Amino acid sequence: MDNAPVPIKIPDTPFGKIALSFSGGGYRAASFHLGTLSYLQRLSYGGRPLLENVKMLSTVSGGTITGIVYALMKQDGKSFDEVYDFLIDRLSKLDLVKLSIEKLNPDVQWSNTYKRKNLINAFALLYDEHFTGGATFSSLNNMNSHLEAVVFNSTEFNNAIDFRFRNKGREMFGNYYNRVKQIYAEEIKLADAMAASSCFPGGFEPILWPSDFIHADAPGLRSIAGQVPTGLMDGGIYDNQGIDSVLKYKSNKDGTPYFDLILISDVASPYMEPYKPTVEDEKKGIQKLTIKQLYNKVLKVGLRVTIGLWAAVVLFLLLPLVWGYGNTIGTGICLTLAVIAFGGWLGKWCLMRRLKRIPEQLKEYVLSKNKNAAFFLEKFKGLKVEDISLHRTRPLLMDRFNSLLSLLLNVFLKIVRRLNYSIVYNDERLEYRRMSTLIRQMTEEDYMARAKREEEDGGSVVAGKYEDVVGEKIKAVAEAAGSFGTTLWFTDEEKLDDVLSKLVATGQFTLCYNMICYLESLIAGDGFGELGLEVQDGLKGLLAQCEKDWATFKGDPMFMVAATKGRGL
């Protein structure tokens, strides 16, 4: 979008063109976003489901699972009920982590020999087998559903920017530094894009472009196999809400935004656990030993083991003298035990020699890989590491590890999330064109925090007591969904508790609530009276639908999910 001044008013065609973005978050995201889709499908606007006004879909990580399946099945002419049932079936039954680890066993056939045998490629093969059925981006060449654009986002590690997998169109496939020609893009499997988008740090290694995307039916990709590899990982590293791709899509010539509504479906939590320093263990027992003392104790134990093993060798060699080393079973057993004891000592001796060499080998490796290593090693000479007790060593190591982990998995993601929301909510041109639906929005904690902010700002968007507006039934489901972690499976306990259904239901009633707030702002906003009577009546009718549904959700938050149970799932 350019920055030309544009009057702030209600779009001439509210809900005419909707951009929908799905955040990352594993099965939590995939399930919640399915709820978002299903509620859009339920609402009727202009004589058809509101979902059919969605023109663009931008997804990240777990949201890409739902996004790709939805786009592909709509291309195949499937109904929404078929998409919904398919995803519920797959999400409820597939433990992707267990299945992918099993694929790494040496005796299991690796079905795509072009791919490296690792965890992320095992996931890609499973996605291909269970979600996309071998489909490639050629399936999305000519969009024949209500969608005109789909973007599945990942992050590339050569230039630290978004790498976009998208349908054929004028927009770039890949990015500025890695422009992927259409002839190559068409051969890329949707499952590989799904894997790249959901390849979160720590859990996976990067998937390599283009080598890990080659398959038997991809001659074009094979022709560029020698290209310098680019590591691709989770789209959430760059933008976990998929907002950037939406904002960089088309804009109208007069400067008005292209989309009448940008709807962000987001399961990412804005909260972080406070950093907690490692508590030093009580200085007693083994904890009070220094590294040198512990090493000396290990040496003493090793000496005792050596003495014991040699004693066993001598004993079992001399014992047969009692019966004159006759050719007996006893002699055979003793000689065998003597050989075993000697082998144990020999193995221990080889191991200790190797262990003693590790510090020096590690030092040589570090020096060879980092030109600044010698400088820092020189500085550390003054630290008598061997004299530091274990109860102080653990905090020194764990505080660094935990802070780095929090930085990678929490701090960076939260910063990027705030920046992206700031762009959307600080752009005055989007005043009546933006809405977010958040997984924790209907929890008491989030509702009350939002009410407090509104009160401080002099607003009244959040009105009424929590127990009156939301109620205990919605609260129970919302808090169960909001506390579910970022995983790619449901445990047996979570299946018994029907967490999948609660996640889907939370997506449904949270969007219902936000639709009411959004529609009320449109009807009370500048320019509503300038809209045609048919549009005005349509918006009022949509609000009436949502208000009726909200009353039903308060009585039974699972009523939409329950209505699908009779379809043979």
Give pLDDT tens digits for 366-401: 778 777 777 776 766 676 666 676 666 777 777 877
Please tell me the predicted confidence (pLDDT) of residue 280: 67
The Cα 405–Cα 420 span in angstroms is: 22
Q: What is the pLDDT of residue 550?
A: 97
Distance, CA of 509 to CA of 292 (rounded, Å): 61
Beta carbons of 74 and 549 less than 8 angstroms apart: no
Contacts of 67 (CB under 8 A, 6+ apart): 22, 33, 57, 59, 150, 152
Per residue in 401-411, pLDDT tens? 778 777 766 77
Contacts of 127 (CB under 8 A, 6+ apart): 65, 190, 191, 192, 194, 195
Strand ranges for 190-245 from DSSP E: 207-209, 230-234
CB 307 within 8 A of CB 348: no
Residues 499 and 480: their CA atoms lie apart, in Å, by 7
Q: What are phi and psi for residue 486, nearest 5 degrees?
A: -90, 95
What values do phi and psi take at 487, rounded to 5?
-130, 170
> At residue 446, what is the residue type?
D
Facing residues of 156 across strands?
Answer: 161, 232
Contact 196, 233 (CB under 8 A): yes
What distances in angstroms separate CA 525 from CA 8, 391, 454, 528, 539, one per listed residue? 10, 63, 18, 6, 12
Question: Residues in the chain, how many?
Answer: 569
Do the Cβ atoms of 196 and 210 come closer than 8 Å?
no
CA-wise closest residue to 546 among 513, 498, 510, 569: 513
Residues 6 or more apart in contact with residue 286 via CB below 8 angstroms: 294, 390
Quick one: pLDDT at residue 69? 98
Task: Point out which residues pair with 16 in neighbouring strands.
Answer: none
Give the 3-state secondary structure of residue 3: coil
**Predicted structure pTM score:** 0.82
* Predicted local distance difference test score (pLDDT) of residue 463: 65
Distance from C-alpha of 489 to C-alpha of 569, rounded to nearest angstrom: 18
How far is 491 from 496, CA to CA, in rounded Å? Answer: 9
CA quadruple 197, 165, 35, 236: dihedral, nearest 10: 40
Segment 207-260, tens digit of pLDDT: 999 999 999 999 999 999 989 899 999 988 888 899 999 999 987 777 789 999
Check residue 74 and give its pLDDT. Answer: 97
Cα distance between residue 240 and residue 155, in whole Å = 10
Query: What is the phi/psi pair of residue 537, to 5°?
Result: -65, -35
Q: Is the dihedral of CA 492, 498, 503, 504 positive or negative?
A: positive
pLDDT of residue 290: 72
Q: What is the pLDDT of residue 569?
A: 43
Q: Measured in whole angstroms, how far is the alpha carbon of residue 427 from the centre of its chain?
A: 28
CB atoms within 10 A of CB 319: 17
Tokens 């078929």 identify what position? 82
Peptide bond into 210 cis (omega under 30): yes
Separation of alpha carbons 456 and 459, rounded Å: 8
Give the count of beta carbons closer than 10 Å to the beta carbon of residue 112: 17
Tens digits of per-residue pLDDT, 154-201?
999 999 899 999 999 888 899 999 999 999 999 999 999 999 999 988
Q: Give every residue of the chain whose pLDDT is below 50, as ranges.
A: 1, 568-569
Strand partners of residue 154? 163, 234
Q: Rounded CA gap, 166 and 153, in Å?
A: 9
Comparing CA positions, the residue from 184, 258, 171, 179 lying closest to residue 221 is 184
Reduced 3-state DSSP string for 304-332:
HHHHHHHHHHHHHHHHHHHHCCCCCHHHH
Angle at which helix 499-523 crosses helix 533-555, to 10 degrees, equals 140
Contact 482, 439 (CB under 8 A): yes
DSSP structure class, residue 201 = B
Sorted by sequence, the CB contacts under 8 Å of residue 307 that are 6+ apart come out as: none
Which of 262, 265, 259 shows the shortest CA–CA distance to 13?
A: 259
Q: What is the pLDDT of residue 212?
A: 97
For residues 514 and 110, what is the distance between their CA atoms, to the nearest angstrom? 46
